[in-house]
Structure 1
Amino acid sequence: MFILAVTLIIIGIVFLVSGLAQAKKICAQTQHTGWRWLSLLIACFILGYSLVLGSLLIDKTVDPILFGLSMILFSGSIFVFMVTKFSLSTIQQLHMLAQEEKHNALHDPLTALPNRKHCIETVNFLVEDNIPFQLMLIDVVNFKQVNDGMGHFCGDQLLIQIGHRARSHLRKGDFIARIGGDEFVVVMPNQSMDHAFDIAHKINQSLKRPFSIDGFELTSSVIVGIGSYPKDGACVEQIINAADVAMYWAKTHGNEVASFSAHMSQDARRKLQISRQIDQAIENNEFQLFYQPIICLEHNIVCSYEALMRWLDEDGKPITPSDFIAIAEQSNKITSITEWMLDKVASDIEQLITAGIHCPVHVNLSAKDLMSKNLENQLSRLAFLNKNFVKMVVLEITETTAINRLRSPATLLERLKQMGFRISLDDFGTGFSSLSLLRDLPVDQIKIDQSFVYQMQKNERNRSIVANSISLAHGLGYTVVSEGVEHEEVVNILREYGCDYVQGYYFSPALPLERAINWTLSRDTVHYETLAQKRVKKTAP
């Protein structure tokens, strides 16, 4: 009984010592006063247990009361040990959950890189400590096309791998974050502008090596704008805005990397503002469609229209197509504009038909439209909803920007033609592969660029190019439209060369739909009166 009592008390002291160690860990993590008092109490328990143990060892005899006391002390030590153990375990789990939540709040869930909030906090710390740094704003060039054409999974995997490759080029102490969509930020404290340019070029070169994603091999590239603290701003917003302006300037000038300077600010900021206004313009219905008539030379009547975009901003000021179309292309918002345009054309076609005008509408498609599966889906939807849509729409593909950037244009155009659409090759003659395009692509029509038609009556070379283009197109079974006709003499020359259709300011500028309808009915009165008489005869008993 003596040995058992001594053993129980010794084990109890061990449990108490372990409990005290755990209580001290809890104190360190929580800094709570209650746990400090509990630690002191456990220490007193250890002292009391030690005194009882010493008394037993001196007397070397144990009566039933002392044995019962040793059992109670043993049980109490187990209780203290379990309370501290489970309390420590619970507190550690809560601490881990808190750390995980904090990590999630500051990191992008897809790439595991720091997010925009973390980026802003990091840059703020550098600014507060007055530490100079270079900030690179990185925009992935082809992310939207991958995301739309191959699905969100491939787009996500591309972003993850881009993050890994970009991070592999950074030094210890550099910082990289994904701040949204396909944009990344790299912050390099105490580094020169030359070093930032070097890193930007290295990142771009590494992204041009193929990525293996879901059985496909893809390449990518980025546009980088660089802002410098304190040269380009005194706060986070100013530095990021400077990098944003530099990135936009690089896009518009065909560069991969640019650092901010004052000369690019005004023009770039206007373009940046237009880019940000495009989504708002679609939502607020600020865009308008104008229609320029296309005239059939054989019958001298309107046979079709070209739909052209116009934009009045919220202040009523016009923004020219040459400005916003190019900006929409560069900022990957052209597909949103095309979606709006096709829906609007589908609606306007109904008004044309109601007015008795069955002339098709030419719709321009960009390269990025053609690389997106959304185009085919939308065309299929509109064709299903409107039985007249396919026969009333001609799809115009610009040779210089669209065809040369597509990997398999013939396959895509065949699918569009199988849906029933006619294809017109716009700006013919301005690209480098016009003849091979005529041979290989399933087009129905070419549109001779206005640069060859302009002042054709005074330029023999232009006349020769136009005459031979018309002859070549007819030999291949295509019809021909000549753009930019401004003089009657040019009309007569084109009629002599056998051109099928013409459009230009000589006949009419682009007009709002109602004015285009009225202009057509007024100009071709005899034609539409004849059609009306034929319809009356058909319905007569």
Structure 2
Amino acid sequence: MQLNNFARHSGPVLRYFGRSGMWLVWAMGLLVAAYTGALLLHGQGFNMLVDGILSMLTQLVLLAVCWLAVARAGRGHRELLLAAVAVTGVVAANVYALSAHSRGEELPFPSPTNVGYLVFYALMTLVIGMLVHRSARGLAWPVLLDSAVGTLGTASVLAALLTPFLNSIGDATPDATGSIAVAYPLFSLLLALAVGGVAASQSSHADRRWILLIFGLMIFASTDIVFAIIGDRYVIGTPLDAGWMIGLALVVVWLDSSTRPDAVLGHAANSAAALALPAVSTVAALGVLVLSSQVPVSPVAIGLAAATLGLAALPLISRQLVLRRQLRTDDLTGLPNRRALYTAVAGRIAIDRSQPRALMLLDLDRFKEVNDSLGHDAGDRLLIQVGSRLTAELAPGDFLARLGGDEFAILLNDSGQLEAEAAALRLRIALAAPFTLEGIALQTSASIGIALYPDQGDDLTGLLRKADMAMYKAKSGHNGHHVYRSADNSHGATRLRTLQELRIALTDDQFVLHYQPKIELKTGTVNGVEALVRWNHPTRGLLFPDQFLAMAEESGLMHTLTQVVMRQALDQAAVWLAAGRSFTVAVNLSASSLVDAELPERVAAMIESRGLPASALTLEITEEFLMADRDRAREILARLRASGIRISVDDFGTGYSSLAYLRDLPIDELKLDQSFVFPMADDARAAALVASTIDLAHGLGLRMVAEGVENGVAYDELVRYGCDYAQGYFICRPIPAADLDQWLARREISASTE
């Protein structure tokens, strides 16, 4: 209760002090400006109005601002109290000197004037020390090192300027006046050291209050240094007097602003300022050393300059070491990179050329789909986890590096073929455990190619090339890992040549479509076809999908190939529509094509541009895509269905089927895989599976299409089970569009004559 009453009654008082403090700050600034201008105008010599009345009034206002700020800050701010006492000491010294001068008296030695200035330097050095100590907590060592460089560099320059005074310290019998004359610059030097440290340590978190304090102290100390250099030639009433006043005013403004919450600025990063002070200090120290070769310079200054350059060299050495490490390290995983691999292999081979070794090239299977479906951030996290697992499975002497993308290289020491294959199996088992990404349990696999040293290569370039061939062999054969054999060399060359030809085929329209009709079993009519791609190779003839689709998928060309197939299929659908045949054309889409976020809009635009109804297209997708990312599948399929495009699940029953996705996802039909249809005639259980699957589809409101109908028995059974559509060699093989037109014409003639 008492605290609340105090706060209620003291609030207006504090607000009054806050407002009056601001008015005093503005008044102080105007008085300092007026005093400085008057010194420039009235000329040398004592002027009672300027050097007496105006000077004293200005200093009294300085004191008022100081002590109001201390009262506003309250307890717990010892540095502000010490700063106010320091300013008070200078003002008291000036008042004493002015009163003595007005009476025509010579100042005694020692006098209160000397004491006041010495107390100012001592207290402000203590204040700066307290602030630096507080600021240095938690700073990284490079920041502290920059602070030390700035401090020593500043000290070396001041020591060089004060060489006569520093040398006088060594005199055997200095008089008292000389000692005081030397004491001022020494305290200035000590203050400059502290200010340099503050500037460096605060440069990365600079705010205007620190700038005020630093500039104020530097101006005040610099004025004292000039005064010490002038000595007996100093005359009161010159512009030099303004230096002390301006320096004190800036210190007072810093003190006042430190007690105002609204004046506290954010600690904005300023990397340029962080580098400026140590850089300038280093150049200044170098200048002191150069100067010492031409004119006498104090040994103290030379020592400080040498120490500055020595400390400044430490970050350069450290950065060189860091740079060398970064050049050999993969930024993402922290593993050695390709450059480090070349160095390691060359070094180990040079040490012992007789020791058998194995180089393994590991590539993640279907990694592109992770990036496309979950994003590159998830792909990066997967690579980091893969690197950790591989590291845990390797022996201490083995070397693991990331070459880029999803490729890793592993050098096994003292390893023949058996040891390498055992290691490959161990790594594959480690990677088979699920990874957790974006809250999804993701399973991945890897293909590993193995090349043996020295039998299959005596340098890294040759080993990498052969390991790459073996890795492709493992990937295409789906057998996990493969040891290089001489026969793989020709296969690798063939693969590279085929890949280049595949790229040319996409631009030269070498791909053609064959169409297989779908029979509506209830009526026996044809109202839909499936488009199947063929490669009309200029030298190898007509190639079927199993000879090039896997390569198109692995090389990232599947998206382009899908666009080619889609364009040709819709063009043919438009031709049929113009001829009076309203066919639905089915096009197969790979999982990599379905991760394209713009696919629904692009397909809808292609249909609209040809004047086709959306129902003219059916997109066939696999269970693999549906099960890999159900949320993404739902979003993509919903957008396709919204435009009227039909969705069919191809090869139903061969993947990890789930009744949940049949319930949740927007699909129109199921295509029963031919592996269920083939054995129907001879296997009662297979026939029962087909019958139950047809009932399941109808129960969910889906159409059922049976693939691979090879004989009349299977056809009749499908009719009896109520299957909706069928396709297969018994009905018609996939044929070009012109041949299909002739087949349809013959079928229509046959039907009309029956």
- Shorter chain as normaliser: what TM range? 0.5 to 0.7
Hey, what does 2:703 align to over in structure 1? 479
Check 1:312–1:526 CA distance in 2 against 1; reply closer, same or farther (3 A cut): closer
Q: Secondary structure at the match of 1:73?
A: coil
CA contact (8 A) 1:409 1:441 kept: no
In the TM superposition, what is the alpha-carbon distance from 1:479 to its structure 2 partner?
3.0
Pick the aligned partner of 2:601 from 366, 375, 380. Answer: 380
Q: State the alpha-carbon separation in 1 of the partners of residues 579 and 343 from structure 2.
A: 61
CA contact (8 A) 1:143 1:182 kept: yes
Q: State the alpha-carbon separation in 2 of the partners of residues 135 and 452 from structure 1.
A: 44
Counterpart check, 1:259 vs 2:483: yes
Check 1:174–1:496 CA distance in 2 against 1; reply closer, same or farther (3 A cut): closer
CA contact (8 A) 1:301 1:524 kept: no
Hey, what does 1:119 align to over in structure 2? 341
CA contact (8 A) 1:133 1:191 kept: yes
Q: State the alpha-carbon separation in 1 of the partners of residues 393 and 676 from structure 2.
A: 50
* CA radius of gyration, larger in: 2
Q: State the alpha-carbon separation in 1 of the partners of residues 378 and 682 from structure 2.
A: 55
Hey, what does 1:421 align to over in structure 2? 645
CA contact (8 A) 2:634 2:666 kept: no
Matches of residues 21-170 of structure 1 in structure 2 within 5 Å? 72-74=295-297, 93=316, 106-127=328-349, 130=353, 132-170=356-394
Unaligned runs of 5+ in 1: 9-45, 47-68, 528-541
Q: Report the TM-score, using the length of structure 1 for normalisation.
A: 0.66
CA contact (8 A) 1:470 1:498 kept: yes
Hey, what does 1:24 align to over in structure 2? none
Check 1:392–1:3 CA distance in 2 against 1; reply closer, same or farther (3 A cut): closer
CA contact (8 A) 2:710 2:729 kept: yes
Greater alpha carbon shift after TM alignment, 108-117 vs 273-282: 273-282
Hey, what does 1:293 align to over in structure 2? 517
Hey, what does 2:167 align to over in structure 1? 4
CA contact (8 A) 2:600 2:636 kept: no
CA contact (8 A) 1:428 1:434 kept: no
Q: State the alpha-carbon separation in 2 of the partners of residues 276 and 511 from structure 1.
A: 27
Q: For 1:396-440, what per-residue CA distance to the aligned partner results, in whole angstroms no more than 9, with x for missing partners?
A: 2445x5566666798468635455432333344556858888677
Amino acid at match of 1:383: A
CA contact (8 A) 1:108 1:115 kept: yes
Check 1:286–1:522 CA distance in 2 against 1; reply closer, same or farther (3 A cut): same
CA contact (8 A) 1:410 1:440 kept: no
CA contact (8 A) 1:302 1:524 kept: no
Amino acid at match of 2:546: S
Check 1:457–1:140 CA distance in 2 against 1; reply closer, same or farther (3 A cut): closer
In the TM superposition, what is the alpha-carbon distance from 1:228 to its structure 2 partner?
1.3
Hey, what does 2:42 align to over in structure 1? none
Hey, what does 2:472 align to over in structure 1? 248
What is the RMSD computed on CA atoms of the aligned residues?
A: 4.9
Q: Secondary structure at the match of 2:408?
A: strand
In the TM superposition, what is the alpha-carbon distance from 1:121 to its structure 2 partner?
4.8
Pick the aligned partner of 2:398 from 162, 174, 178. Answer: 174
CA contact (8 A) 2:166 2:298 kept: no
Q: For 1:17-69, what per-residue CA distance to the aligned partner results, in whole angstroms no more than 9, with x for missing partners?
A: xxxxxxxxxxxxxxxxxxxxxxxxxxxxx9xxxxxxxxxxxxxxxxxxxxxx9
Counterpart check, 1:224 vs 2:448: yes
Q: State the alpha-carbon separation in 1 of the partners of residues 619 and 523 from structure 2.
A: 23
Q: State the alpha-carbon separation in 2 of the partners of residues 295 and 218 from structure 1.
A: 40
Check 1:211–1:500 CA distance in 2 against 1; reply closer, same or farther (3 A cut): closer
In the TM superposition, what is the alpha-carbon distance from 1:480 to its structure 2 partner?
3.4
Hey, what does 1:49 align to over in structure 2? none
Q: For 1:514-539, what per-residue CA distance to the aligned partner results, in whole angstroms no more than 9, with x for missing partners?
A: 55456557765899xxxxxxxxxxxx
Q: Secondary structure at the match of 2:368?
A: helix
Hey, what does 2:150 align to over in structure 1? none
Q: Determine which structure has the larger strand proportion and give its number.
A: 1
Q: State the alpha-carbon separation in 2 of the partners of residues 477 and 145 from structure 1.
A: 31
Matches of residues 308-327 of structure 1 in structure 2 within 5 Å? 308-313=532-537, 315-326=539-550
Unaligned runs of 5+ in 2: 1-163, 172-288
Hey, what does 1:534 align to over in structure 2? none
Q: State the alpha-carbon separation in 2 of the partners of residues 2 and 451 from structure 1.
A: 102
Q: For 1:428-475, what per-residue CA distance to the aligned partner results, in whole angstroms no more than 9, with x for missing partners?
A: 455685888867765433334445555977887776765665566445
Q: State the alpha-carbon separation in 2 of the partners of residues 435 and 329 from structure 1.
A: 29
Q: State the alpha-carbon separation in 1 of the partners of residues 685 and 395 from structure 2.
A: 59
In the TM superposition, what is the alpha-carbon distance from 1:202 to its structure 2 partner?
4.9
In the TM superposition, what is the alpha-carbon distance from 1:360 to its structure 2 partner?
1.4
Q: Relative contact order (alpha carbons < 8 A, sep ≥ 6): 1 or 2 greater? A: 1
Hey, what does 1:63 align to over in structure 2? none
Hey, what does 1:185 align to over in structure 2? 409
In the TM superposition, what is the alpha-carbon distance from 1:501 to its structure 2 partner?
2.9
CA contact (8 A) 1:252 1:330 kept: no
Q: State the alpha-carbon separation in 2 of the partners of residues 3 and 480 from structure 1.
A: 102
Q: State the alpha-carbon separation in 2 of the partners of residues 425 and 431 from structure 1.
A: 11
Check 1:508–1:205 CA distance in 2 against 1; reply closer, same or farther (3 A cut): closer
CA contact (8 A) 2:402 2:408 kept: yes
Amino acid at match of 2:335: L
Amino acid at match of 1:323: Q
CA contact (8 A) 2:626 2:633 kept: no
Check 1:92–1:325 CA distance in 2 against 1; reply closer, same or farther (3 A cut): same
Q: Determine which structure has the larger helix proportion and give its number.
A: 2
Pick the aligned partner of 2:733 from 497, 500, 509. Answer: 509
Check 1:271–1:462 CA distance in 2 against 1; reply closer, same or farther (3 A cut): farther
The alignment-based identity, stated in percent, is 34
Q: For 1:270-319, what per-residue CA distance to the aligned partner results, in whole angstroms no more than 9, with x for missing partners?
A: 56765676556445544333222223345544311111121244644443
Q: For 1:161-201, what per-residue CA distance to the aligned partner results, in whole angstroms no more than 9, with x for missing partners?
A: 32244334445553322222111111233345555455545
CA contact (8 A) 1:352 1:517 kept: no
Q: For 1:298-347, what per-residue CA distance to the aligned partner results, in whole angstroms no more than 9, with x for missing partners?
A: 55443111111212446444433223335556777655644553455445
Check 1:272–1:459 CA distance in 2 against 1; reply closer, same or farther (3 A cut): farther
Q: Secondary structure at the match of 1:239?
A: helix
Q: Secondary structure at the match of 2:582?
A: coil
In the TM superposition, what is the alpha-carbon distance from 1:239 to its structure 2 partner?
1.8
CA contact (8 A) 1:251 1:330 kept: no
Hey, what does 2:581 align to over in structure 1? 357
Amino acid at match of 2:296: L
Q: State the alpha-carbon separation in 1 of the partners of residues 652 and 420 from structure 2.
A: 42
Hey, what does 2:669 align to over in structure 1? 445
Hey, what does 1:304 align to over in structure 2? 528
Q: Secondary structure at the match of 2:528?
A: strand
Greater alpha carbon shift after TM alignment, 323-332 vs 108-117: 323-332
Check 1:82–1:351 CA distance in 2 against 1; reply closer, same or farther (3 A cut): farther
Amino acid at match of 2:333: T
CA contact (8 A) 2:637 2:647 kept: no
CA contact (8 A) 1:365 1:397 kept: yes
Q: Secondary structure at the match of 1:231?
A: coil
Q: For 1:107-146, what per-residue CA distance to the aligned partner results, in whole angstroms no more than 9, with x for missing partners?
A: 4443343333443454345556635421111112353222
In the TM superposition, what is the alpha-carbon distance from 1:263 to its structure 2 partner?
6.8
Q: State the alpha-carbon separation in 2 of the partners of residues 80 and 525 from structure 1.
A: 110
Q: For 1:238-270, what per-residue CA distance to the aligned partner results, in whole angstroms no more than 9, with x for missing partners?
A: 322332343334434544444334576666775
Q: Secondary structure at the match of 1:74?
A: coil
Aligned residues: 463
Q: Secondary structure at the match of 1:386?
A: helix
Q: State the alpha-carbon separation in 2 of the partners of residues 334 and 195 from structure 1.
A: 37
CA contact (8 A) 1:242 1:260 kept: yes
CA contact (8 A) 1:107 1:118 kept: yes
Q: State the alpha-carbon separation in 1 of the partners of residues 486 and 648 from structure 2.
A: 43
In the TM superposition, what is the alpha-carbon distance from 1:352 to its structure 2 partner?
4.0
